[in-house]
Structure formats: structure tokens, C-alpha cells
Structure 1
């Protein structure tokens, strides 16, 4: 099998002269044990000055270390020509702006028509071989920035950043109502709803979840608002559940629609039902993603512009829910 030759090249500095190669790989380059075991079994997976070596050898200052990974393909994903918007691409990463209504990865009953099908076709059309490795997920109806790794080393390192909380994921939502405070946090453990397992609820016995928010726009004296959000955890449906829990469900969200009717008056409920019909999905967009590029060693930020349906929703609220107040 041909190899993917260029994900990681490293020149041994003076201060690492005499180190074991294994130490350089694990401590300096932070290659995981799982990946290291895989590289050891790969022909030309670990090369020092152009020669295959054991990881027990000692390195010298100026040595050129190459980590070479086998090219892979997602043989279980059918290539399908589907349009998608590329925000950034290099030999290590693909960053896309996912449209709403698109599932990220094939699931039971959805083997085609997913982002993965389109990406695999795109790579094949360029005679490139990569395995589809999304670093995170977005709900089917959520639009915005999505990162895909092209090799296991990059996937490992960005995933570790997510676990460490150093990846910034920022969203904007258009919601019914307006939070009581212009800026704040929602701390609410989340778990499955025992009555409807496909839904999530805030419950004391759930998994810790925290969402930061800031109100940027309001309409009609607080009848609707634009809220920017940042996740400090990554629970399923977290933003939708948390915003509903503070009385501000996302416009268009049929699953987490409103609070019980005894919490809002009939006129407000009717107005919310009408506005839910103005858009075909929950009004949620992942507008920015930031993380440290594992190879380039640079902080990178990717932004996805507001999609047309959310822009149209804002315009309709401007027309029918005056006055509008900018809170930035």
C-alpha cells in the first residue's frame, strides 16, 4: 500500500541530542500509544534520516525524523457527488461550512446524501486517499463550521484539544424571548428524557454541561433575540436544551419547542407558534471554530457566514417585531 508521506517532519534540536527516539515521539511530538504501535508495524512508518529505525535508537541533533502514515480510504462510505462549501483545506485538514439538513456521517437508514458521501467523492475526484474523520459533529439541522482530519495524528491532537477545553466553538441562535441577563452562563446537567429517549433534558442526575451566552440583538421588547453562545462542554443538543431551560427555545425547533403552556400566556404561545413556521429548522448556526493546528503550530480560526435562511428570519423579525435593539 502506498504511504502518506508528509504529515509530520521534525528536526532534532540540540537539547534533545541523545534522547531515545521513543521519547521524542511520545514526549515531544505527543504521538499516542495507539498510533505509535500502528506506526511500528507500518513499512517506513518511522524514518530517521531516510532510514527505517527502531524506536529504541538514540537520536542526534540535526537528525531528520519523518512520521509516515498509510493512506486510507473510507471503503464503507459510498462516493456521491454532492455540493459542499470548503472554508479551508491543506494536506492535514478539511474545514467545511455544513448546510442545514445535511447529516454528517452515514447512519442506519441514511447511507447516502450525507456530508461524508460528498467529501469522499471530492477526494476521489482528485485522486486523493483519506479516511473521513470528522473531529466533531453538528446536528442535521445545524449549519456552520465543521472540521475533518485527514490522518489519525491530526484527529488525535485536535480531539485532545477539545477534551482539554482549548477548542473554541461559537454559535449564534435566534430564540424566542430574551435571557434575563445580557451575558451569563447556563449550568445544567443533561441526560436523556426517560419518557422520550431521543430527547435530552436538564436533570440533577445528568452529565455536567455549561453554555456561555451573550445577547447581541433583541426585537419587540424582548419577544425574540439573537444570542451568541460558546460551549464549555459538548452534550447532545446542549444549546437547544439549555436555551429552552431558561425560557428561550430556538425559533423553529420542533423537538425543544416551548415551555409548558402554563409558563407563557396564550398570546405569546400563538406568536411563537407563528414564528416557528418562518423557518424550516432550528435557528442555530456554528459561526466560528478555533484551535491550534497540530502541524503548523498556529492558532487558526475559521468562520462561516450567516446562511440565507437565518438572514431571512432576521429580516422578517425586523419587519414584524419592531423595535430592534443592538446589544453589542
Structure 2
């Protein structure tokens, strides 16, 4: 016997009397054509007043439309008891605070130890069946709020909000230097670096990319910046901040220009002490600062979107993680010596 998730319900108002059911599904319940096709193949996928019907029928005021999705599991993901922080959960979605160093979904070479492995195990222990569907991704070393859908309808609905730029994603970053002006936007097309395809660069022939930023605090060696993504390119924040001369502290891929000077010096300078003597004081302090945190100092602190079922506007926040709090204290005190 087929098992279903709880139904998603819509009651026909007087203004929609006589509409086609397929119009209700598309325009009011926002069910994609792909999901409609899946629902039509199951016994209770689409019902009108409790009865299975064709979507070409007309509806009447007060009719109850329900869609039900079959329960699914992530059989291709190995359950592992990996702890993670839950910010919010209901029968439709799970919101977590991802920690640094954790990959979201198994990939080639990383089949275990991911957030997905931990979430699948968590659901298994609760005796519930869901397929792991991360609505968006965060880089392995980026911390913060991550949304996971529990069914295809919720995944599709939030994804559409993202495409339509109705999801507000805000980040906090600790960066080298101080951006000028203090508040603005970085409108720089992004594409792969032809010399290093795993990296991205700002290039006139790239994909349109827009990041808004606001300076929250600044010190002699760095700044705390709030960023809002208007597009979602790979490494967008890291690439854009580097492009304006304020790379993220600790970023090993998008590094401060002083590292070119360091590479030139390394061939002839064998020790750290001599390297420090060889480089300008500013360059040496930048390198010290990067060594004080083992990752790029980037945190997804806030995510706002419309709940796909209740239609309530919801905001989820994750506090600044310990390593970034410590780095901020170092910047405030001026003590940049790595531990």
C-alpha cells in the first residue's frame, strides 16, 4: 500500500467558482507541471472532495482540493550519526545551522561525513521517511542557515522563490581592509577562470552577478560586512569582495594580492623570521590574520522566505560562530598573532 505525506489542501473561494482544476493547481497551489505529472500517477495524488478526478474538471465554491505526495527515502545516502544544529522543523521542511568543514551532500570522493548523512540518520531514528533535498548550498567552509525540503512540492516552491528573487539571503563576512563606499553594490559578471577552472573571476563575458553590502564595523586591519545576494553564482561573495580589494580573511582560494609578493620571497627566504623581515609590515600582518582562522570568514546568518504551505513569511537566523567571534575580537584588540 502506498504511503503518503500529509495532504496539502486548498479550498475554492467564491471568486474561483468554475475554474479548471488544472488552473487551481498551477496558479493557486503553484504545483509545477512536473509534479502534476507525478501526482496523476498515484491513487491519492490529486483529489477533489476526497475523490480522484481528472484535472480538466471544473471546481465549485467550497470544493476541497488536496495533493498528496508519496513518501520517499534517500536510499543512496548512508545514514550516519553526525550531530547538527536544528534551527526549525515542521512536517514540510528542516532548517539547520551548518558548521564549518561540513559538505552538504555526498559527492565523488565524499560519500560519508556530510550533512545529508547526518540528516538521513536523524530521520531514520525518528521513524520518518523523507528524501534529502537541500534547497540551496553553502560552501564546505561556510557556516550558517541552510534549508532542507521534506518533499518535492516544498523544494519546488522555495526554489521558485529563489529564481524570482523573493528569498532574502544575508551573510556576515570578516574581510581585509575597509570597503569604499561603506555601503553599495558589486555588479560584476562572474565566470570560470580559464587558467584555473575551479576558480571564478569577474569578467565582462561572465554571468550577471549582483551583491549588495553594508559595512557594520571596521578596525585597522579588517572589517565586518553584511552582504545580501541578489544572484547565486558559485563563490559569488568571495569573488566579488576580492574584486574590490577586500578578500575574505582566511580564504585560501581567493587570496589577498600580497601573497604574490610572498611567493616571490619564498624561493630565497627559508624561515618565517626572515620572511617577516623581507616583507612589508602590512603584508606580514595580512598573512598573520589569514592564519588566525582555518577557513574563509563567511557565515550565512539570515534566510527569509514564504512558507510554501502556510504562506507565512519566515525568517531564520544563526548566531556568529565561535571562530568568527574570536577573529572579530582579534581585530578589535589588534592582536593578530595566530595561536
After TM superposition, the score normalised by the length of structure 1 is 0.94
**1:125-152: CA deviation from partner (whole Å, max 9, x where unpaired):** 1111111111100000000000011111
CA distance in 2, matches of 1:272, 1:131: 44
**Matching residue within 234, 241, 244 for 1:246:** 244
Is the 2:187–2:211 contact (alpha carbons within 8 Å) kept by the matching residues of 1?
yes
Is the 2:258–2:283 contact (alpha carbons within 8 Å) kept by the matching residues of 1?
no
After TM superposition, the score normalised by the length of structure 2 is 0.91
- Secondary structure of the structure 1 residue equivalent to 2:140: coil
The yes-or-no answer on 1:283 pairing with 2:285 is: no
CA distance in 2, matches of 1:304, 1:157: 23
Aligned length: 320
Q: CA deviation at 1:36?
A: 0.5
Where do residues 3-22 of structure 1 align in structure 2 (5 Å cutoff)? Answer: 3-22=3-22
**Matching residue within 263, 267, 271 for 2:281:** 267
Is the 2:170–2:301 contact (alpha carbons within 8 Å) kept by the matching residues of 1?
yes
CA distance in 2, matches of 1:261, 1:50: 67
1:326 maps to what in 2? Answer: none
2:131 maps to what in 1? Answer: 131
- What is the CA RMSD across the aligned residues, in angstroms? 1.6
The yes-or-no answer on 1:140 pairing with 2:167 is: no
Where do residues 1-328 of structure 1 align in structure 2 (5 Å cutoff)? Answer: 1-220=1-220, 223-259=221-257, 266-320=280-334
Q: CA deviation at 1:18?
A: 1.9
Structure 2: 5+ residue stretches without partners: 263-278
- Secondary structure of the structure 1 residue equivalent to 2:68: strand
Return closer, same or farther for 1:320/1:260 CA change in 2, 3 Å cut-off: closer
Q: CA deviation at 1:58?
A: 1.8
Relative to its length, the structure with more strand (as a share) is: 1
CA distance in 2, matches of 1:280, 1:193: 24
Is the 2:190–2:201 contact (alpha carbons within 8 Å) kept by the matching residues of 1?
yes
